Amino acid sequence: MTTSIKTRVLDRIDLAILDALQRNGRISNVNLAKEVNLSPSPCLDRVKKLESEGYIEGYTARLNAAKLGQHLVAHVEITLKSSTEAVFEVFKQHIVKIPNVVSCDMVAGGFDYLVKIRVQDMRQYREVLGQIVEIPGVGTNHTYMVIEHVKEDMGVEVLNYQ
Amino acid sequence: MTTSIKTRVLDRIDLAILDALQRNGRISNVNLAKEVNLSPSPCLDRVKKLESEGYIEGYTARLNAAKLGQHLVAHVEITLKSSTEAVFEVFKQHIVKIPNVVSCDMVAGGFDYLVKIRVQDMRQYREVLGQIVEIPGVGTNHTYMVIEHVKEDMGVEVLNYQ
DNA sequence: AAATAAAACAGCATATTCTGCTGTCTTTTC
DNA sequence: GAAAAGACAGCAGAATATGCTGTTTTATTT
């Protein structure tokens, strides 16, 4: 269930590969090899190894949500009625199934979960919020509508190399 | 500065391509064509068009942050001392430059910005929080440390097709 | 310090893929 | 109903992927 915790020391070439693939996940192996000053074969070996060891979890096309009709993002703070493990479990099982839920983090502090949702419009926001508050055990909720995206990186800092 | 707002009706093949590339950004064009029941040439044409029209913004390798030493994620709510455009502008210019800031959304509601940061440990958290609160105009802040990642999708729902 | 073992590398060769071009068929427009 | 535009499959040359081999470098052991 849990992923491997095994770790090894990545040298600067590995880090350069990760950085390059994070910036352009569809770069050809030949060009990637040039970028990290390696010939194609060992470069491919390293990429395969980084994939199999779990440093690289996959590759994704970044899509423009607004052009696909998803115009609104909201952050919803959820507090559960009780803090028992059973209630947490029920909430998790339901929340992951809602397709408009982009992310859901359990947090320490004034509430229990911070849920990020992406919806087409206010009508769909109400619909999704309805689905969330109807999950058994959900107490209070508070929504913060996103007015402006200032930064959206989703990348992992890898720049200890050079 | 702003991206094109032009939009067109995407047919089910375009949507299938977007869905496939979101799930596997490094799939070969030949296999992508098989997946959407097309021959390679028109499939490549469609991908190029989706890229040039901005539906696809880029391709990214998803990296395992924990294996790269980034073990903590925190959500920080920021309230500015005043709500003038000049103060907003200064805040934005500073916050985007902090590499540990993964995302930053201006929100409507009880505070002004919701900032997501990714750090190695508590020591670095304090360091990054220090950088944030020293941005001119920053008033109060409140941090919610992430205890558990329940869902992390980052994808856009594209499944209106077949 | 020398010998051995292990790891990383470049180069090569074949299989696969990319990608521009052409002609055909379908759909749209006038 | 004719013309134009768009979408498609197939083809071919160029580029890339990828397994294999031998060499060099690095690490380990004696």
- In A, which residues are within 8 Å of B108 by CB distance? 144-145, 147
* Per-residue pLDDT reduced to its tens digit, B24-42: 999 999 999 999 999 999 9
Subunit contact A64:B3, Cβ cutoff 8 A: yes
pLDDT at B110 exceeding the cut of 60: yes
Question: What local confidence, expressed as pLDDT, does residue A1 receive?
Answer: 44
B43 nearest nt, CA–C1' = D8
pLDDT of residue B6: 58
Average pLDDT, integer, range A125-139:
98
- How far apart are the C-alpha atoms of B149 and B73, rounded to whole Å? 9
Domains of chain A by range and CATH? 12-52 (1.10.10.10), 66-145 (3.30.70.920)
pLDDT in the model for residue B4: 44
CB A102 within 8 A of CB B103: no
Does position A4 have pLDDT exceeding 50, yes or no?
no
Closest residue in B to A50 (Cα) is B63
pLDDT tens digits, B78-90: 999 999 999 999 9
Residues in chain A within 8 Å Cβ distance of B104: 149-151
Q: Is the pLDDT of residue A12 over 70?
A: yes
Query: Is the CB atom of residue A12 positioned under 7 angstroms from any atom of strand C?
Result: no
Task: Tell me the nt nearest to A36, Cα to C1'.
Answer: C9
Paired sense of beta strands A72-80 and A113-119, if any: antiparallel
**Which of the four pLDDT bands, split at 50, 70 and 90, describes residue A6?**
low
Local confidence band at B154 (pLDDT 50, 70, 90 cut-offs): confident
* Nearest residue to C9 via alpha carbon and C1': A42
Contacts of A58 (CB under 8 A, 6+ apart): B24, B25, B61, B62
Question: Is-contact B156 A70, C-beta < 8 A?
Answer: yes
pLDDT, averaged across chain A: 93
Residue whose CA is minimally distant from D11 C1': B41
Find the nucleotide nearest B39 (Cα to C1′). D9
pLDDT of residue A158: 86
- Average pLDDT (B9-14) is 92
Residue A55 CA to residue B54 CA, distance in Å, equals: 29
Contact A79, A133 (CB under 8 A): no
Q: Which of A107, A111, A121 is nearest to A141 (CA)?
A: A111
3-state secondary structure chain A: CCCCCCCCCCCHHHHHHHHHHHHCCCCCHHHHHHHCCCCHHHHHHHHHHHHHCCCEEEEEEEECCHHHCCCEEEEEEEEECCCCHHHHHHHHHHHCCCCCEEEEEEEECCCCEEEEEEECCHHHHHHHHHHHHCCCCEEEEEEEEEEEEEEECCCCCCCCCC
Is residue B118 within 8 A of residue B73, CB to CB? The reply is: yes
The values of phi and psi at residue B7, to 5°, are: -145, 155
Distance in Å, residue B56 CA to nucleotide C7 C1': 40
Mean pLDDT for B68-75 is: 96
Terminal Cα-to-Cα distance of chain B (whole angstroms): 36
Q: In this predicted structure, what is the pLDDT of residue A19?
A: 96
Give B92's contacts in chain A (Cβ within 8 Å). 150
